[in-house]
Amino acid sequence: MAGVKVAGIDCGTNSIRLMIATVDDRGMHVEVPRIMRVVRLGQDVDKTHRFDDAALARTYAAIDEFAEVLAEHPVDALRFVATSATRDAENRDEFEDAVFARLGVRPDVIPGSEEAALSFLGATSVMEAGHTADELPQAPYTVIDLGGGSTEMVIGGDGKDAPIDRVTAAFSMNIGSVRMSERHLVSDPPTDEEIRAAVEDIDEHIDEAFSHVPAWHTGTLIGVSGTVTTMSGIALGLKEYDREAVDGARIGFDEACETCDRVLTMTREQRREYPVIHPGRIDVIGGGALVWNRVLRRIGQAVLEREGRVLDSYITSEHGLLDGIVLDLGRRLLG
């Protein structure tokens, strides 16, 4: 079957990404590798509930750059997805009008439930690559997409009662690297009191997520997003960020949590000494590290207490929401 050429834009709280791919009955074939720009669209949105003018200017500059790429690579369809920050912003109409003027499409401001489902689709779509059916990681898969403003927790089927790529439960938590850093971790480095307040906030959201998502059934935990891939890169001891080394890497909880603790308590200047950390994440990666730390510890504890099993590692994935946006759009066009 002939494929369709589509593009997806994932506009999050901290970064914006573009990818162009052909989708056919064999899957997704990337034509233009993802382009990522850190724009901090969600700057102060947690506090003011409005987009900052400087944040909008940074985002528009990235969108203008994407428009040039799209002009060079015409596509059959483009979907622009906006998430947590745009959901929260009272002046989002201005942003939506500006996107339409630049790209000819209006942003789809999707709910957390759809964000979770698309992240799950993107992360699990590549799980079969390089594995036979007998070698596949243990189901059910739980995907954690840790963003700047929200964190999605989504679990799929066990392969028996439901296919492993089917979402069975999902929940979007209003916690993320930017939101937690701006709300709690304002000192450099953060104080013990700030960290305690952030942990309490994060744990309340995880408690609520657990009331919707039975994470104790997790067979394999998959982590996606800039925070997770950055923490994994540091845990692997990389001297600079290497996407191929990080994608698919299995990281132990203990090692990951030690890395998160270390990054959380660093000063910003100390973080700058790590080329693995993107410069645009320096001031908020501590908030993301703390969220990831608590998610790992709480899920590991839940699996042990509820099912008596040990879950002590996760798989890092470079495939998440953006992959899901592109793959879903292509499949819908194909019918």
pLDDT values of the chain reduced to their tens digit, one per residue, 335 residues: 589 999 999 999 999 999 999 999 989 999 999 999 999 999 999 999 999 999 999 999 999 999 999 999 999 999 999 999 999 999 999 999 999 999 999 999 999 999 999 999 999 988 866 566 667 899 999 999 999 999 999 999 998 999 998 999 999 999 999 999 999 999 999 999 999 999 999 999 999 999 999 999 999 999 999 999 999 999 999 999 999 999 999 999 999 999 999 999 999 999 999 999 999 999 999 999 999 999 999 999 999 999 999 999 999 999 999 999 999 999 999 98
Catalogue all structural domains in the chain, each as residue range(s) with its CATH number: 4-113 (3.30.420.40), 130-318 (3.30.420.150)
pLDDT digit string (tens) for 37-75?
Answer: 999 999 999 999 999 999 999 999 999 999 999 999 999
Q: What values do phi and psi take at 332, rounded to 5?
A: -65, -35
Residue 68 tokens, joined: 């040039």
pTM: 0.95
Do the Cβ atoms of 233 and 225 come closer than 8 Å?
no
Distance CA 237, CA 191 (A): 27
pLDDT digit string (tens) for 130-169?
Answer: 566 667 899 999 999 999 999 999 999 998 999 998 999 9
Say if strands 313-317 and 141-146 run parallel, antiparallel, or are unpaired: unpaired
Average pLDDT value over all residues in the chain: 96
Say if strands 313-317 and 250-252 run parallel, antiparallel, or are unpaired: antiparallel
